[in-house]
Amino acid sequence: MGTRESVHCQPCRALPVPLRTDLLRNSSYRLFGAEPTTEHPEAPFWGHFWLCWWLTALSTPILWQMEYFGQISIGTPPQNFTVVFDTGSSNLWVPSVYCVSKACAKHSRFHPTQSSTYKVIGTPFSIQYGTGSMTGIIGSDQVAVSDVWGLIVSNQQFAESISEPGKAFLDADFDGILGLAYPSLAVDGVTPVFDNMMAQNLVELPIFSVYMSSNPDSPQGGELLFGGFDTSRFTGTLNWVPVTQQGYWQIHIQLGGTVTFCANGCQAIVDTGTSLIAGPTKDIKELQNLIGAHLLVSQYAVECSSLDVMLIPGFPLLLPQESGDGITFCISGFQGNDVPPPTGPLWILGDVFIRQFYSVFDRGNNLVGLAPAVP
C-alpha cells in the first residue's frame, strides 16, 4: 500500500492515553484452543507461562520483559483501574467487589453500588483461559479513557469479574483488560469501547495508534492515541497494509532471507496484548537456528548482530532481537505457538514488534499503518 500522510493528529482532536511499563514477573501470550468454550464458541483461549530469567551475562534489563498499561475510570464518581489495552480482544472487564478469588483481592475492584450512573445488565460472562477461567456478569456505566479532553464513553457495557481462579491474573500488575479488536470477537456481542467512541462522535477519525518506548528508563512507557497518530513518534512515512480478516487486526506478511517456511506469505495479527513474536513451533525453531540462537535455560540467546527480514507488502521490517546498548548477546523475542485451523496457522506480532514499529489501526478503511518507531 502507499503512504497516506494526510491523516495525522493535527489538527485532529486526538486523545492521548499515557502508557507506563513494569518489568514482567510473568508474561501472558495468546493461545487459540482447538476446542472453543461451550459458552462462547468464538472466544479465544489464552495461555500463561512463567519466564525464568537468565541474567548473569546481561548488564541491562531485557526489553521484552516490559509490559504496558494505562489507566481508565468507570462510574460516577470515577473508580480507577489499570488495564492492558489489547488489540487481540474486544471486551472490557475489571474485577468486581463481589469477586471471591485471590487475584481480585490483590487488585482494584469495581463497586457498582457506589456509582450513580451504573446500570445492571446481568448477562453472564465467561472466557476460558489456558490456566483457568474468568467469569462474571455484564453491567453498564460511563468509562473515562483520556483526561486530556474529558473523553467519556456513555452506556458502555463491560464485564465485572466474579471469579478468576488459577494464576493467570494473580500477580498481574494490571486490574483488567480493554479490548480494541473488531466487534466480531466480543463475547456476548458487547459493543467494544472504541466502537462506542466512534458511534458517540468522541473521536474525529476512526483510528487509534500505539507507541511503545524501547527505553526502560523512560518516565513514560508509551502512548495510545485515539482519533489520530503522532508523526513525531516515527520516522519516514506510514506504510498501510490491508486487514485480511476483521476480527483480530490480521494482516498478510512474508518472510525474506533463506527461510523455507511462509513461502507464499503468512497471516499475522498485530497484538498489543502479547509480549513476544509468536509463530508455528516448527517455523520458530527454524528461525532460531537461522539467526544462530542457542537455548539457555528456558530462553534462546543470540548474537545481537544477527538479523533477518520480515516483509510486509511494500515494506521491509527487521525482526528485532531485544537488548540494551553494548550487549553482545541478546534474548530472542520469538516464541513457538501453534494456532490450530480454521483460525491458524497464525503469527502474532506482539510488543517486541510494536516497540520497533509505530502502529496505526484504521477502522474506517480496515488498514494497519506501520513505520519505524522513534526510540
- pLDDT, greater one: 36 or 239: 239
Backbone angles phi, psi at 255, to 5 degrees: -105, 130
99 plus 42 within the same structural domain: yes
220 part of a folded domain: no
Lowest mean pLDDT among 50-64, 75-89, 107-121, 165-179: 50-64
295 part of a folded domain: yes
Q: Stretch 354-358: mean pLDDT, rounded?
A: 90
182 plus 323 within the same structural domain: no
Which residues lie closer than 8 Å to 56 by C-beta, 6 or more apart? Answer: none
- pLDDT, greater one: 286 or 136: 136
The residue count for the chain: 375
- pLDDT at 150 exceeding the cut of 90: no
- pLDDT, greater one: 1 or 342: 342
- pLDDT at 68 exceeding the cut of 90: no
251 plus 180 within the same structural domain: no
- pLDDT, greater one: 167 or 358: 358
52 part of a folded domain: yes
64 plus 146 within the same structural domain: yes
Cα angle: 209, vertex 64, 56; to 5 degrees: 160
- pLDDT, greater one: 109 or 11: 109
351 plus 278 within the same structural domain: yes
- For the record, the C-alpha cell of 205 comes out as 477519525
Calpha distance 225→151 (Å, rounded): 12
Contact 81, 144 (CB under 8 A): no
Q: What is the pLDDT of residue 13?
A: 56
Strands 299-303 and 294-296: antiparallel
Q: Among 207, 223, 248, where does a domain finish?
A: 207
Give 183-195 pLDDT, tens digit per residue. Answer: 999 999 999 999 9
- pLDDT at 310 exceeding the cut of 90: no
Calpha distance 355→375 (Å, rounded): 8
148 plus 252 within the same structural domain: no
85 plus 199 within the same structural domain: yes
284 plus 332 within the same structural domain: yes
55 part of a folded domain: yes
80 part of a folded domain: yes
Name the percent of the chain lying above pLDDT 90: 44
Residue 69: which pLDDT band, with cuts at 50, 70 and 90? confident
Q: What total number of domains does the chain contain?
A: 2
186 plus 239 within the same structural domain: no
Of the segments 239-248, 291-300, 302-311, which one has the largest average pLDDT value?
239-248
163 plus 36 within the same structural domain: yes
- Assign residue 346 the CATH number of its domain: 2.40.70.10
Q: What is the pLDDT of residue 53?
A: 20
275 part of a folded domain: yes
Residue type, 72: I
163 plus 246 within the same structural domain: no
Calpha distance 107→215 (Å, rounded): 27
Question: Quick one: CA torsion of 19, 211, 335, 269, rounded to 10 degrees?
Answer: 110
Active site residues: 86, 271
Range of the domain at 130: 15-207
- pLDDT at 306 exceeding the cut of 90: no
Q: What is the pLDDT of residue 60?
A: 26
69 part of a folded domain: yes
147 plus 196 within the same structural domain: yes
DSSP string, 278-337: EE-HHHHHHHHHHTT-EEETTEEEEETT---EEEETTEEEEPP-B--TT-SEEE--EEE-
324 part of a folded domain: yes
